[in-house]
Structure 1
């Protein structure tokens, strides 16, 4: 990956005038890289907590899988309540950096609460504050990435950002693992370290990330265009939102998959916190290649068929095979799934919405995913409790096997490469 340290696509174009760029080389704005560093530090903070949350809740605090399912779903889904508000505010004020900053700062403050929360109600309150912060920041941050990148490079730009993000997501669980190795039951120490990384990330965002805006400077003094919700709720975005919701309902939390692996034998139980590291290492390996692939063959195509990786992870967790092989295969497939869906969905939503509604469009897609995954995690926790882990996993795997071709049919008009997809979307919007 060739990284050109430029702040905007226009500047990058100016700097490269007169130079013949080598085939296959791509440029990524320094703004994207700096945001990636902010996300890396923030993910060290959040994932060091997420890695021990299943054990902390079910082991240290002694709660049931129903309680964990609710909290895990809450952890994933509560941000959905404010994602659209964050994206909409960013679009209307045209201040994406500072809206994102508010979200990052709120999540950092929530880390203080972890030092004192020990009951179900207190944990719920802390998770609510943390996830509201995530909901506020995600769409404005992705809007800055989009405004700092060339349209044809969006998949690669999001791939670079998600790669840096997931370096932090790999370091966080490692940090938690070594703290628990040195200090048994050292959850409080993990929470203090989490707070420190969050504060550093917010500081870098405030000082070093420019407020790159979706509208051009010349248009800032002009009256803001009337926001048209139909650009989000109709046309091509309607199908993307429906597809995201269907697949999100069949995406159970990683914690459940890790608990299934833990129940298989001693290997996963011994290295439980490091399973998050394995997933994120796989993400690191696949994020940039799959982002580039999405730019070439179509973002909707990569997003849909990325769920085949999730299906494979479900099957690897339950089919008879050696515990070590099952764990490694499951983590690799989970990493590939996230690499093919996370940033790719944001790039797809940005591709199908106009600049003045870009933050809201990205937020709408992410909101649908977060809400559907909240329902999925909460429902799966209850279903596991009633029928057992193997039957529960087989059921969700069978449903996903049916859903993937159904969603591929639903998005059949958008499975082309980005340029062709945009033309198809414009035609559909005009009908």
Structure 2
């Protein structure tokens, strides 16, 4: 009797009425299989990313060689692509926490991105393309934090790295398939860009349907949790570990080159044929997809923050390699893309797996959105800075500057945020 009473009074013991216990399987079960919610969200991200990458894989070549824009303009568009939806992340995160409908908020973001695909066939200028890109990124901003909260609620804390690794691997599979689908469509229908846009919309629509039909909503907040105001939901910013992690992630984001500029710079520095430019993201995605799950498991074992910093060491290696350019052609490009893929695999989901346990459940989505927004806005500024450097000194200069400053930023981030140290 005394044993049963002690168990009942133990505050650390999960009960059937605890939201975390109701939404997450036991640790042992989680290691044997990935929860269905994570797999369903992975499938949604797979088809949505395939839809998006069908279009974005063609944009750098179209803008640079079709419309004749320069590095500065490309950097500006890259900055817009990266940062357009940043501020909407906080709004989406707050709405999900306030009303307890992470699934509904995430679904609205996926639906907005899907609708933008219908408008691409009727526009034909850089400003119009930029507007649609911004709308698509706003949809991404709205959905990202609620989606990551759904993943966090579906698994125990000890397996978050693995869960995010599985999701990001499926997401990146879509990034790999998107450019290939675009090439297949254009090969079957020469000049059929409208057809490619229609296929892109259909894929995005499938993602919305899967989201509605197969993704379970997260645990509902209590009436007391719903009544919390905006100020109360931001109290997590008073936690030193959260503040330091946010600052460090933003600092590293500031020294991240935009993807479009990175691939254009790689193509120029390593003498890769211009016609192969849309295929470069495929190599990065293949690396990401291959190593995301092993890296997530490794992060759970050795620590997520150290692995996050190691991911930026891979980016540092790519920048310095492209600055020195000791080799050219496809072998050199393969090495640079390998490093770039490792960078994304070790940073994207790993950061979310690291920060999620530091946040209170009542404002977890808002907290994830704040960290993502800080990082995304910093990356947008970094993309613009890289474009400006490349416009004035060439891509070699831009890679050199980013390589040297990234090394300093990694050292600073290691000092700024030390997991487990609150004072």
Which residue of the partner structure matches residue 124 of structure 1? Answer: 130
Q: Deviations over 1:1-37 (max 9, x none)?
A: xxxxxx98647647x9xxxx59x94442100100000
RMSD: 2.2
Runs (5+) with no aligned partner, structure 1: 1-6, 415-420
Q: Aligned match of 1:56 in 48, 59, 62?
A: 62
Q: Which residue is equivalent to 2:274?
A: 269
Partner of 2:74: 68
Confirm or deny: 8 A CA contact 1:78 1:370 kept in the other structure. no
Corresponding residue for 1:418? none
Structure 2 unmatched ranges of 5 or more:
1-18
Counterpart CA distance in 1 for 2:226 and 2:412 is 43
Deviation at 1:138, TM superposition (A): 0.3
Equivalent residue of 2:122, what SS?
coil
* Map of 1:4 onto structure 2: none
Cα gap change, 1:214/1:28 in structure 2, threshold over 3 Å: closer, same or farther?
farther
Which residue of the other structure, out of 324, 331, 339, is the alignment partner of 1:325? Answer: 331
Distance of 2:343 and 2:64 partners within structure 1: 27
Paired with 1:233 and 1:134, the residues of 2 have a C-alpha distance of 27
Shift of 1:264: 3.8
Using structure 2 for the length normalisation, give the TM-score.
Answer: 0.90
2:83 to 77, 87, 94: 77
SS of residue in 1 equivalent to 2:50: helix
Q: Secondary structure at the match of 2:347?
A: helix
2:102 and 2:150 in contact (8 A); partners too: yes
Determine whether 1:297 maps to 2:302: yes
The CA distance in 2 between the partners of 1:27 and 1:400, in whole Å, is 38
Does the aligned pair in 2 maintain the 1:9–1:148 contact within 8 Å? no
List per-residue Cα deviations over 1:96-127 (Å, max 9, x = no partner): 00000111111111111211222122112111
Range with greater deviation from structure 2 (206-215 or 370-379): 206-215
Deviation, 1:294, is 1.2
Q: What is aligned with 2:16? A: none
Verify the 8 A CA contact 1:144 1:214 in the aligned structure 2.
no
Comparing 134-143 and 270-279, the one that deviates more: 270-279
- The Cα of 1:64 is off from its aligned counterpart by 2.2
Aligned to 2:244: 239
In the alignment, is the contact (CA less than 8 A) between 2:173 and 2:286 conserved in 1? yes
Within a 5 Å distance, the mapping from 1:133-148 to structure 2 comes to 133-148=139-154
Please name the residue that 1:346 is paired with: 352
Query: Residue 187 of structure 1 is aligned with which of 189, 193, 196?
Result: 193
Change (3 A) 1:265 1:229: closer
Identify if the C-alpha distance between structure 1 residues 352 and 214 changes in structure 2 by more than 3 Å, giving closer, same or farther: farther
Matched, 1:378 2:391: no
**Contact kept? 2:71, 2:261, Cα under 8 Å:** no
Q: Which runs of 4+ in 1 moved over 6 A?
A: none
The answer to whether the 8 Å contact 2:93/2:146 transfers is yes
Aligned 8 A contact 2:85 2:138 in 1:
yes
Residue from 166, 181, 186 that aligns with 2:172: 166
Q: Identify the match of residue 393 of structure 2 among 387, 391, 403.
A: 387
Q: Is the 8 A contact 2:389 2:397 kept in 1?
A: no
Aligned counterparts of 1:185 and 1:372: Cα–Cα separation in 2: 37
Alignment of 1:300-315 (within 5 A): 300-315=305-320
Partner in structure 1 of residue 101 of structure 2: 95
Q: Say how many residue pairs are matched.
A: 402
Describe the superposition over 1:386-431 as per-residue Cα deviations: whole angstroms up to 9, x where unpaired: 11111111111111111111111112x21xxxxxx4xx4xxx2xx6
- Contact 2:20–2:219 at 8 Å: present in 1 too? no
- The CA distance in 1 between the partners of 2:217 and 2:108, in whole Å, is 13
